[in-house]
Amino acid sequence: MTGEKLLPVNGVELCVQTFGEPTDPPVLLIAGSASPMTFWEEEFCERLTGRFVIRYDSRDTGRSVTYPPGAPEYGFTDLLDDAVGVLDALGVESAHVVGISMGGGIAQLMALEHPERVTTLTLIATSPSGPGADDLPPVSEGAVAFFTGLTEPDWSDRTSVVDHVVGVLRWFSLGEFDEQAARAGVERDFDRTSSFRSSSNHQMVTGGEPWRERLDEVRAPTLVLHGTEDPLFDLAHAHALVAEIPDATLVTLPGVGHELPRSSWDVVVPAILGHSKT
């Protein structure tokens, strides 16, 4: 593992960290909305043995560039360009790209717009078109009720913010929930983040053309990993990805929600390692 580094990417600074040897096959990990690179825990990265693992803080998360809350000066295509720019900054020509949730959307578009940079594609807990697609199940009623009733924390108070985020994580977790570990992780993220409140800017990010109708153009071998109990993206979203991306493969994660719990790593890690041998 190398230490965190601030690297110039597309005119801004992004915080990047790598694991393994640069001569190993590179794996680029793209986290979801409002999630810093520490979403991909160190142990998870280290278990991807024989790979040069790259994780990074996207804009408005962790130690990367931040913008005033409610005023992001970037769009979805900038987040795509950042993913490619991280590879450029590290001198990596192409990588096995792994994205979860919104990061999975960025990964899909990367495979379409920059196919030469994507060796293989792994999509976790994501969708071909988001929760508003007419032919796919919307977010669950429970999700709507939960987020409608969610109140903002006191962003100036560390305990209030940590309690708030742990509560959200608990709701996403359909199986076992280690509250002590979750709280420690959120406290770590709060302490290393330049502007924790700014991560909510991801909810405002727009731009770019819809790409679902182009999924048949994806040429990177594609693996889809999806929890059977995902309350945001019903399993039907995963089936749509597999149906519309040529020769894609689906691995279901029984009892898993919109998350990547430690209990799933014994399935997820070998699946990524096997897929990235392609």
pLDDT at 132: 56
pLDDT at 175: 65
Domain region containing 271: 5-137+195-275
Q: 55: closest CA among 13, 8, 97, 93?
A: 97
pLDDT at 116: 98
Percentage above 90 pLDDT, the chain: 82
pTM for the full predicted model: 0.95
pLDDT at 27: 98
Q: What is the pLDDT of residues 164-219, one digit of tens each?
A: 999 999 888 876 788 999 999 999 999 999 899 999 999 999 888 889 999 999 99
pLDDT at 144: 83
Report yes or no on 123 lying in a domain.
yes
Report yes or no on 165 lying in a domain.
no
Report yes or no on 267 lying in a domain.
yes
Report yes or no on 249 lying in a domain.
yes
Q: Give dist(CA 182, CA 177) in Å, integer.
A: 8
Residues near 147 by beta carbon (within 8 Å), at least 6 away in sequence: none
Domain count, the chain: 1
Q: What is the pLDDT of residues 44-61, one digit of tens each?
A: 999 999 999 999 999 999
Report yes or no on 245 lying in a domain.
yes
Whether residue 204 contacts residue 70, with contact meaning beta carbons closer than 8 Å, is answered with yes
Q: Give dist(CA 229, CA 174) in Å, integer.
A: 7
Q: Phi/psi of residue 178, each to 5°?
A: -90, 95
Q: Give dist(CA 124, CA 39) in Å, integer.
A: 13
pLDDT at 99: 98
Query: What value does the mean pLDDT of the chain take?
Result: 94
CATH value at residue 12: 3.40.50.1820
Band (pLDDT 50/70/90 cuts) for residue 133 is: low
DSSP string computed for 214-255: GGGG--S-EEEEEETT-SSS-HHHHHHHHHHSTT-EEEEETT
Q: 96: closest CA among 88, 87, 192, 141?
A: 87
